[in-house]
Structure 1
Amino acid sequence: MVTSKVNWDDFRYVAALARHRSMNVAAKHLDINVATVSRRIHRISQDVGVKLFVQGRDGWRLTPEGRALMDVIEQFESNLARLGNNLPHLQSAAEKARVITTGFLAADYLTEQLGAFMERYPGIELEILCSSIEANFDREDVDVALRMNRPLDDTLMGHEVGKVHFCAVQKPDATSRDWIALSRELDWTPEMQAGYERFGRPPVMRVEDFSLAMDAAASTGLAAIVPRLHLPATSPLNIITGAHSVATRSLWAVYQEKRQRDPIVNAVVDWIAQSVAQRRLSEGFSQPNNDGQAGGVGYSAE
């Protein structure tokens, strides 16, 4: 009955509704909203191919198929509890937190604030993973993801921690109207769409990340779209006149809804938000403007 579409995390919803027989009470127990419980139960029923609950005067009750699934869930929970009792060293191990983000976001401000994190949370072992692949929260390999996309999955929550501003740059003596873009998979992003609109033609070169885009622009004289904060004051590139802000994207700290009161998640999200705000203050006026002089700020907490 159980298919590969469903993971064990889904069964928390089945167990909560089976035990409390009320959507409202189940939602309160799971610390999420009622609509999420209803949607997840409906989706799980579709995934396993059977009706799991029927609603009666005394609340929601399991169907025979739902009862069979609940037996499996309870057995799994029992085995998990026994495993925890047999491995007490796991409970006494140091807390760990895993953050996944893109390379340029990590380099631009996360690494500069690692000392502050260690000082504030000495009991948490922090691991930062750099990848453009979406985080797999279902496997719980990641605690928080730092992304420029608001979460659409109803099991995830997002805390907006700032904004990323993009500009168009080029060597001051260059005259080429051609430009450098990131990979085709990212053509949908506002910053790459801004490049198509700004230069009126497809890119003549593609690179993996913004650092490579700046290096290639400096080497070839081609233009590029980059985050303003990513452009150092010593860069040979200038912001093109009228292209100081060609696109803006919100920056989100994303985590599972069920962990919204998890102290580890809250510590990491709070640190990320403060890091963005701190970078905005410390950056001051160190970005070059159209004349190569001090200019705007790349990240903001607005």
Structure 2
Amino acid sequence: MALRADWLPALAAFESAARHQNFAHAAEELHLTASAVSHHVRKLESRLGVALFQRHARGVSLTAEGRQLADAAGSAMADMEGVLRTLHGTRDEHDRVRITTLHSLVYTWLMPRLPDFHQRHPHIRLSIDTEIALTRFDDGGPDLGIRHGPGHWPGLTAHLLMDDALFPLASPHYPGLPAIREAADVTRLPLISDHARQGWLDWFRHAGVHGAKFEESYTFSDSTDAMNAAAHGLGAVLARGRIAQPYLDAGRLQRLPGPALKTRWSYFVVYPSHRRLRPAAQAFVDWLLAQPTED
């Protein structure tokens, strides 16, 4: 069956509806009405002689035939958008990926892994933003982000990158450290904290230390500063394992007695649901999600 030019509007409407699993959201993206999107889809179904969506009270879902066409249409649209961006922009911008994430994660987890990405994709340029403010994914903004949170953000697609756990650390040279033999003994140390949602009170409760008095002597807005403070002998820090590992490997910090507390939040790779990733950004996402995250 030859693909005629008058099929293209219907295919574009179907591809958007299939990606969103929602006619209204597709209409908003395409600047059409929901009824217009529905008309295009029904026209396509009539021409093909198959049902592409199952329609029910809560919305729509793809049939097996619809999924097959959606995969092909999505791939074709992404290829065309990649070519159009290449023709419209400079080569540098085509191969540049803008990422927003946490300074602590870049410094301790991402940076040691970037040489591997460069070796695999030497033509891709990365711009990494670690500003504290939550970034908006507007046109001209970052392509993707790595966020620490619950995994649900309006308008964003989120892929789990890795979980994490909290446990106390201190410099191996801290005076009197051999006397810290159990979790309750940690309360005697000057405690260092950051602005994370879970803190010392949560960890002591998890460790079975109830009613003990403790004082947070130092508080930092960035987790990297908190760990550096502990490495310089200022006290014990409650650290996330993923960003603490380089300090442990280098012997600058060591674990104190007590259990690891699984964090309520995890790390996610996020990007706008309404916008397809450019090939360079998709390559970076694929590389991120392929990183080994086992301890």
Contact 1:168 1:223 in 2 (8 A): yes
Change (3 A) 1:115 1:37: same
Contact 1:158 1:255 in 2 (8 A): yes
Q: Which residue of 2 aligns with 1:180?
A: 192
Q: Which residue of 1 aligns with 2:16?
A: 28
Q: Which residue of 2 aligns with 1:127?
A: 127
**SS in structure 2 at match of 1:132:** coil
Is residue 214 of structure 1 aligned with residue 227 of structure 2?
Answer: yes
Q: Which residue of 2 aligns with 1:152?
A: 152
Contact 1:255 1:265 in 2 (8 A): no
Post-superposition offset of 1:191:
4.8
Q: Which residue of 2 aligns with 1:78?
A: none
Change (3 A) 1:209 1:148: same
Listed one character per residue, the Cα deviations across residues 274-295 of structure 1 (whole Å, up to 9, x for unaligned) are: 33x1x64xxxxxxxxxxxxxxx
Post-superposition offset of 1:39:
10
Is residue 257 of structure 1 aligned with residue 265 of structure 2?
Answer: no
Structure 2 Cα separation of the partners of residues 177 and 35 of structure 1: 58
Contact 1:196 1:202 in 2 (8 A): no
Structure 2 Cα separation of the partners of residues 182 and 39 of structure 1: 44
Q: TM-score, normalised by structure 2?
A: 0.59
- State, as a whole percentage, how many aligned pairs show the same letter: 18
How many residues in Structure 1 have an aligned counterpart in Structure 2? 219
Structure 1 Cα separation of the partners of residues 189 and 236 of structure 2: 7
Structure 2 Cα separation of the partners of residues 238 and 122 of structure 1: 36
Structure 2 Cα separation of the partners of residues 153 and 219 of structure 1: 37
Change (3 A) 1:169 1:88: closer
**SS in structure 2 at match of 1:108:** helix
Contact 2:167 2:255 in 1 (8 A): yes
Q: Which residue of 1 aligns with 2:44?
A: none
Structure 2 Cα separation of the partners of residues 54 and 88 of structure 1: 32
Contact 1:144 1:268 in 2 (8 A): no
Post-superposition offset of 1:204:
2.7
Listed one character per residue, the Cα deviations across residues 105-124 of structure 1 (whole Å, up to 9, x for unaligned) are: 11223222222222222332
Q: Which of 200, 224, 229 is residue 237 of structure 2 equivalent to?
A: 224
Is residue 190 of structure 1 aligned with residue 204 of structure 2?
Answer: no
Structure 1 Cα separation of the partners of residues 156 and 266 of structure 2: 16
Q: Higher relative contact order at CA 8 Å, sep ≥6: structure 1 or structure 2?
A: 2
Report the RMSD for the aligned CA atoms in angstroms: 3.9
